[in-house]
Amino acid sequence: MKSLVLAEKPSVARDIARVLGCKQAHKHYFEGKQHIVTWALGHLVELKMPEDYDRKYETWRLEDLPIIPKKMGLKVIRQTSHQFRAIERLAKRPDVKDVIIATDAGREGELVARWILEMIGWTKPIWRLWISSQTDRAIRDGFRQLKPGAQFDRLYQSAVCRAEADWLIGLNVSRALTTKYNDPLSAGRVQTPTLAMIIEREREIQSFVPVPYWTIRAKIGSITAVWKRHGGHRLFDQDEAKQLLARLDGQPARVVSVKRKRKSEPAPLPYDLTELQRDANKRFGFSAKKTLSVLQRLYEQHKLVTYPRTDSRYLPSDMEATMTERLLAMKSGYEDVIAPLLAKGKAKAAKRVFNDDKVTDHHAIVPTDERLNLSRLSTDERKLYDLIARRFLALFFPPYESETTTAVFDIGGEMFVAKETAVVNFGFKAVLGKEETDAKPTLSHLAEGQTLPSVQLEREQSFTEPPARYSEADLLAQMEKYGLGTPATRADIIERLVETEVVERKDGRFYPTKKGKQLIELVNKELKSPELTARWERELEAIARGKGNPQQFLANIRRQTQQLVAEIKQSEQVYKAPNLTNLTCPECGALLKERKTKDGRMLVCSNLACRYRRRRDPKLSNRRCPQCHRRMEMHEGKAGLYFQCRPCNIVEKADETKRIAAKGSERALLKKYSPANESFGTSLGELFKQALNEKKE
């Protein structure tokens, strides 16, 4: 009898199969003496769409909302159904005794596998592979310590609750807004409060009025001291600043006090995903999405780091024994740092990083014991690995120690303060590359009661500044603060805001668009609040821990969906598509909207039922107008490809089969005339045969 192993991706399945000795390679799986290793392709199963419950929902109508099925159903995703059918066949083999879930060890990975098993009607035992790295050793150890599937039932319930809540809230609210205001408007329990934060920051900036203020500095020999009163150093009254400067001019400085304070700063904890995304954005300008993508390659392909999608910055106590092996694996890239550590014997990391109580489903992101070969990494992979590696190495170094000297001077009865910091021990900062220059001390020779006559005063005017627009690092910090999304989903949420054209990314900062500003006025007040989403995330986490009630959670979501849709229906708000042009659609007569896409500027029909779209600067074909002989524009409409000469107002339908055959693209033909597209009424086989014949001719 054999175990069926279900991985999430083919690459991971390949590694597991190699470790387990499954050498028989088939199209959809690998097979060995004891295991059959197959894979999903991300999600193979998804929640049914509204039209799967009733065909009338294919047309979006406000009066049909809210759509709340009595029981949420599942369906196989058509594009990857071939892999699902393969898994289904393997599951029905009489020699398969159980299944081992080897998808990503997290909420989403659990959902990927469980939905597949539910759709195939799996009734045999379930085991769970739960590992935090993809090294051969981790895989072998994981298979020796398989956990009962029932241990993760609560995690699965939490994942289902999250998926159904997003479907009910996101789909219904988005459809309601889109149909009421006749423009594609997207809203959701995480993206909407995130957009609200960006717009609120923009309001703060736009309403900000700069206020002038003055600071007074005293040059006392080589020392610079700043005037202070009640802890503040700004003067907002120009006359007072002038009077103060005039009164103090020519006065000597008396040393009131000289205090020295030692400071010890321990090495920072290793990264969780959000902090790594923030640092990568600050240091390299990486988007959160790019950081996660590069990190996933370091985890899956190179096996150099542990599981990426974590919200913990601690390590379990049993990992303490693996520290030396990890250092040895990294040595080729960081020999100057690691060699001295190993020369002392067994290297020890800071004790505070090992804390079982603060490790969630996964521990912090740290290097694995896979041998490092920097030459195999791309530039971006090296940059990100270096951040993780140096943060990890810092754990083996002593604290950074410094001494701050603060001198307080009395000049004409006013207090002036000077500070300087001297490094006592660079400690871990030498590893992080954050060394500070050891400036020549200027306060060390001072003594209390000493009078210094050589004083020069200067006044400087400045202006208060508005808060900065959010960078990606700032936005991630805010999302983390309010519990918006999870480390695994935040990057996608940010990209979704950009893709739906409600925010723009300029010079690394986020600007709300006209569409975004209008949308936030249309969305329900409750949905804009970060507190609501934070509460949902806490409830989902409680369900995953076995302390929440999934039935109660979903009942509340259904009531909330009805309330949110009712508010939109009753709303008297007005919306105008900001990208509407004065051009009319040649197919239905509605006004066209201009959109920015990867293919350039596109004109899209504002009538949601019409599929007309063309380039703002359309492509010219080689076909000539029969009247003026100019090259005709090439467009794609709901009736297919056609050519147009605007000056002569001539439109000609293209022969799709000849066009594709001439390009020699059988794959394009198959895609164009799949069974789902019956626009031309000719069978796929006839079209394909005709295209091949014309290609040969």
- State yes or no: is 307 an active-site residue: yes
What is the pLDDT at residue 609?
Answer: 74
Q: How many CB atoms lie within 10 A of CB 208?
A: 12
Could you give the percent of the chain with pLDDT greater than 90?
68
Domain, as residue range, for 140: 2-145
Residues 199 and 89 in one domain: no
Please state, rounded to an integer, the average pLDDT across all residues of the chain. Answer: 88
Between residues 537 and 523, which one has the greater pLDDT? 523
Query: 678 pLDDT exceeds 60?
Result: no
Residues 88 and 9 in one domain: yes
What is the pLDDT at residue 605?
Answer: 84
- When pLDDT is averaged across residues 195-220 and rounded to a whole number, the result is 96
pLDDT band at 665, cuts 50/70/90?
very low
Mean pLDDT is lowest, of 82-96, 243-257, 575-589, 594-608, for: 594-608
**How many CA atoms, within 13 angstroms, populate the side-chain half-sphere of residue 522?**
31
Residues 328 and 451 in one domain: no
- Token pair belonging to 330: 């990294």
Q: Does 40 reside within a domain?
A: yes
**CATH number reported for the structural domain that contains residue 499 in this entry:** 1.10.460.10
Our separate counts of H helices and E strands in the chain read 24, 26
**How many CA atoms, within 13 angstroms, populate the side-chain half-sphere of residue 571?**
23
Query: 671 pLDDT exceeds 50?
Result: no
- When pLDDT is averaged across residues 313-336 and rounded to a whole number, the result is 93
Q: Does 611 reside within a domain?
A: yes
- Token pair belonging to 487: 């480390």
| Angle ∠(572,575,580) on CA atoms, nearest 5 | 160
Residues 339 and 372 in one domain: yes
Residues 115 and 6 in one domain: yes
What is the pLDDT at residue 696?
Answer: 44
Between residues 680 and 620, which one has the greater pLDDT? 620
Residues 223 and 258 in one domain: yes
Q: Is 523 exposed, middle or buried (0-12, 13-18, 19+ CB in 10 A)?
A: buried
Residue 52: partners with Cβ closer than 8 Å, 6 or more residues away: 73, 75
pLDDT band at 685, cuts 50/70/90?
very low
- Rounded to a whole number of angstroms, the distance between the first and last alpha carbons of the chain is 56
Residues 9 and 132 in one domain: yes
Residue 389: partners with Cβ closer than 8 Å, 6 or more residues away: 330, 333, 334, 367
Query: 95 pLDDT exceeds 60?
Result: yes
Is-contact 199 184, C-beta < 8 A? no
Q: Does 481 reside within a domain?
A: no
Residues 134 and 181 in one domain: no
pLDDT digits (tens, 9 = 90+) for 338-375: 999 988 777 889 999 999 888 877 899 999 999 999 99
Could you give the percent of the chain with pLDDT greater than 70?
91
Residues 392 and 407 in one domain: no
349: left (phi over 0), alpha (psi -120 to 50) or beta: beta
Residues 40 and 78 in one domain: yes
Main-chain phi, psi angles of 414, to 5 degrees: -105, 150
Q: Does 43 reside within a domain?
A: yes
DSSP 192-247: HHHHHHHHHHHHHHHT----EEEEEEEEETTEEEEEEBTTB--B--HHHHHHHHHH
C-alpha span between 309 and 315 (Å, rounded): 15
Q: Does 122 reside within a domain?
A: yes
Between residues 533 and 254, which one has the greater pLDDT? 254
Q: Does 153 reside within a domain?
A: no
What is the pLDDT at residue 655?
Answer: 66
Catalytic residue among 307, 314, 612, 673: 307
What is the pLDDT at residue 638?
Answer: 59
- When pLDDT is averaged across residues 383-402 and rounded to a whole number, the result is 96
- State the pTM of this model: 0.81
Mean pLDDT is lowest, of 254-268, 442-456, 556-570, for: 442-456
Q: Is 132 exposed, middle or buried (0-12, 13-18, 19+ CB in 10 A)?
A: buried
What is the pLDDT at residue 680?
Answer: 37
Query: 623 pLDDT exceeds 80?
Result: yes
**CATH number reported for the structural domain that contains residue 371 in this entry:** 1.10.290.10
Radius of gyration of the chain (CA): 32
Residues 76 and 117 in one domain: yes
pLDDT digits (tens, 9 = 90+) for 545-554: 999 999 999 9
The last residue of one of the domains, among 363, 396, 429, is 396
Query: 681 pLDDT exceeds 70?
Result: no
Cα torsion through 91, 92, 97, 102, rounded to 10: 0
Residues 107 and 251 in one domain: no
Domain count of the fold of the chain? 6
Main-chain phi, psi angles of 653, to 5 degrees: -75, 140
What is the pLDDT at residue 250?
Answer: 85
